[in-house]
Structure 1
Amino acid sequence: MTVALAPLTDEHIPVAAQRYDRWFARARRPPSQRSWLADGPVRGEELLGKLIAAPGLEACRALDGDGNLTGYLAAVPVDLGPDDPAALRSHPRSALVPHGGHALPAGRESEVLRALYARVAARLVADRRLVHYVQVPAGDNAVAPWSDLGFGRELVQGLMAVKARGRQPRGVEGLGIRRAGLGDLPQVGRMAAESSRRQRESAMFQPQPEGPLAALRLHYADALADPRCAAWIAARRGEEIGMVLVVPAAPDPVIPESCVELAEAYVEPSARGEGISRVLLATALAWAYDNGHRYVSARWHSASPLAAGHWPAVGFRPVAYRLSRTLDGRMGGAPGTF
């Protein structure tokens, strides 16, 4: 069946927002999993209002037989500078379908998405954007239509409830934990860069250019000086062997209010397996609770041999994924001439 397509513009935001809110309610975690954590604010109209104003947006809508909007897709171009730390996790010239960037009709998800993506992707490829990302709530309902197009799960976003101090992890012999400040930027930056550098390894194989790694060493200066953020360093026998840093998390459809994000966490390879990460995390959670936060979020690579097992084991549950599709770089010229 042919899907009719048309441009998505400002005038369509109210209807598109309604479609998004309904789609999100269906696509998020299965009903059996919805009770363990609060959902974030959906705010479809707010998300679309910001999205439609993004420079270079590629967007279109799907229409039913009466010309009514039944679904839509909107992708934002991503251009990162050579020294931007964000280039450590995303291709510097890519496109992103963020939260709020698509909604699909029930029962026709794959069919409608194929038509929408074919239109939008053609424009992205013509602009030489061959890496495409999409943010979706965790759950097969949201992932399956994108999987049909060749997208795979790349990043996981997890969430954990922060509770009053309960049973604390067993202490590590000789370990000291101290609060980090701006004077600790060299240590925090070094460990953050080392954590990122290890993403070059199997099975992530994520490029970690030296320019962004150098910028990452200085990236957290503002966070270390901001009382809304907090960091701790673990040391033993005078050697700094681990750290954790949390920052405020921006609420979105999968992240509730009163949430902090685990921006960085690192333990030296020689000290892993002793429980140091759990002690650091417990310290951060206690601070978060005392400062009015009730949730903490974290992100990790699906292919990471360490993180993909560790963070779920300590209590983080997936609430969202970033899916990705990388097109063959040999393509060139106009669509249909490859």
Structure 2
Amino acid sequence: MTVAIAPLTAEHIPLAVQRYDRWFARARRPPSQRSWLADGPVRGEELLGKLHSVPGLEACRAMDADGVMIGHLAAVPVDLGPGDPAALRTHPRSALIPHGGHALPSGRESEVLRSLYARVAERLVADRRLVHYVDVPAGEGATTPWSDLGFGRELVYGLMAVKARGRQPRGVEGLGIRRAGPGDLPQIGRMAADSARRQRGAAMFQPQPEEALAALRLHYTDALADPRCGAWIASRRGEEIGMVVVVPATADPVVPDSCVELAEAYVEPAARGEGISRVLLATALAWAYDNGHRYISARWHSASPLAAGHWPAVGFRPVAYRLSRTLDARIGGRPGTW
């Protein structure tokens, strides 16, 4: 069947919102997930309204043989300085297709996506953006069309319900937990940087620029002074060996309202395996419940030898993924040399 590709402009946004809302309602409900992980506002109108105003947006729509719009794709340019903590997780010159950035027709997902991506990727490569990311809800219906194009699961976004205090994890001998404040920025910053620095190794092999690590040491200055955030430090025999930081989460199609984000969690390597992380998390969950939060979100690298097994084991369920595709760097050379 014919798929025609044309620019996505302001006049097409209302129909794109309808298509996205319908597609997302299907894509976010895989049978393996409980309903509380899927329910919530889709926010298509809000997402597409913001996307359309982003400078440098590459966006197009797909039409069937009758000229009816059946899908769309919109990629946002990403440019990060070497001192931006976001550069610890994301390529400094890349492109992101965020939530709201694509919708596909049922039964023709791969076919339509190939046509849309071919057009948008051509423009991204011309702009020398060779790393492409896409945010999708968890479930094969949303991920399979992208995996057919060579995208792989890179980041996992998890969600867990925050409940009233129930059975607490077993205590760790000699462990003390205290609330962290502004004066604890050096300790929180050091452990956050140590956690990020370890992502350079197997199996993530993710560059962690020293300038960005230095900025990360100061990143939680405001959070430690904000009563809407929470941070705790674990210590034993006078040595600080772990920490956790939670901040208000930004609601989106996979993150409900009344949610906090597990922004940082770290335990010194020599102290791992004793249950310290579970005690820190239980402390954060109790605080979150008492402050009216009913969900907590977290994100981790799918290739992480530690996080990929640990966070699902303590109760986080995947609700979304960030997929990525890295094109051959030779494409960045003189045109015609690849």
Q: Tell me if both proteins adopt one fold, taking TM over 0.5 as the criterion.
A: yes
Q: Hey, what's the Cα distance between the residues in 2 that align with 1:337 and 1:174? A: 63
What is the letter of the counterpart of residue 297 of structure 1? S
Q: Hey, what's the Cα distance between the residues in 2 that align with 1:333 and 1:102? A: 30
**Residue in structure 1 matched with residue 130 of structure 2 by the alignment:** 130
Paired residues of 1:41 and 1:251 also in contact (CA < 8 A): no
1:38 to partner: Cα distance: 5.1
Paired residues of 1:192 and 1:266 also in contact (CA < 8 A): yes
Q: Hey, what's the Cα distance between the residues in 2 that align with 1:85 and 1:5? A: 37
1:67 to partner: Cα distance: 1.1
**Residue in structure 2 matched with residue 331 of structure 1 by the alignment:** 331
Q: Hey, what's the Cα distance between the residues in 2 that align with 1:69 and 1:11? A: 12
Paired residues of 1:243 and 1:266 also in contact (CA < 8 A): yes
1:31 to partner: Cα distance: 3.8
> Residue deviations 1:17-57, cap 9 Å, x none?
00000000111131452424353421111100000100100
Paired residues of 1:38 and 1:256 also in contact (CA < 8 A): no
**Residue in structure 2 matched with residue 144 of structure 1 by the alignment:** 144
Paired residues of 2:28 and 2:38 also in contact (CA < 8 A): no
Partner SS for 1:165: coil
**Taking structure 1 as reference, are residues 20 and 336 closer, same or farther at Cα in structure 2, changes over 3 Å only?**
farther
Paired residues of 1:249 and 1:259 also in contact (CA < 8 A): yes
**Residue in structure 2 matched with residue 253 of structure 1 by the alignment:** 253
**Residue in structure 1 matched with residue 191 of structure 2 by the alignment:** 191
What is the letter of the counterpart of residue 22 of structure 1? R
- TM (norm. structure 1) is 0.98
**Residue in structure 2 matched with residue 171 of structure 1 by the alignment:** 171
1:3 to partner: Cα distance: 1.4
What is the letter of the counterpart of residue 99 of structure 2? H
Partner SS for 1:331: helix
Paired residues of 1:63 and 1:70 also in contact (CA < 8 A): yes
- TM (norm. structure 2) is 0.98
Q: Hey, what's the Cα distance between the residues in 2 that align with 1:299 and 1:293? A: 18
1:159 to partner: Cα distance: 0.2
Q: Hey, what's the Cα distance between the residues in 2 that align with 1:159 and 1:298? A: 6
> Residue deviations 1:297-320, cap 9 Å, x none?
000000000000000000000000
Partner SS for 2:311: helix
What is the letter of the counterpart of residue 267 of structure 1? V
**Residue in structure 1 matched with residue 277 of structure 2 by the alignment:** 277
Paired residues of 2:2 and 2:65 also in contact (CA < 8 A): no
Partner SS for 1:218: coil
Partner SS for 1:116: helix
Partner SS for 1:178: strand
**Taking structure 1 as reference, are residues 302 and 82 closer, same or farther at Cα in structure 2, changes over 3 Å only?**
same
**Residue in structure 2 matched with residue 229 of structure 1 by the alignment:** 229
What is the letter of the counterpart of residue 296 of structure 1? I
**Residue in structure 1 matched with residue 159 of structure 2 by the alignment:** 159
1:237 to partner: Cα distance: 0.3
Paired residues of 2:156 and 2:300 also in contact (CA < 8 A): yes
Q: Hey, what's the Cα distance between the residues in 2 that align with 1:56 and 1:181? A: 40
**Residue in structure 1 matched with residue 117 of structure 2 by the alignment:** 117
Matched pairs, number: 338
Paired residues of 1:39 and 1:255 also in contact (CA < 8 A): no
Q: Hey, what's the Cα distance between the residues in 1 that align with 2:255 and 2:293? A: 12
**Residue in structure 2 matched with residue 20 of structure 1 by the alignment:** 20
**Residue in structure 2 matched with residue 105 of structure 1 by the alignment:** 105
List 4+ stretches of structure 1 deviating above 6 A: none
Partner SS for 1:330: helix
1:82 to partner: Cα distance: 1.1
What is the letter of the counterpart of residue 95 of structure 1? A
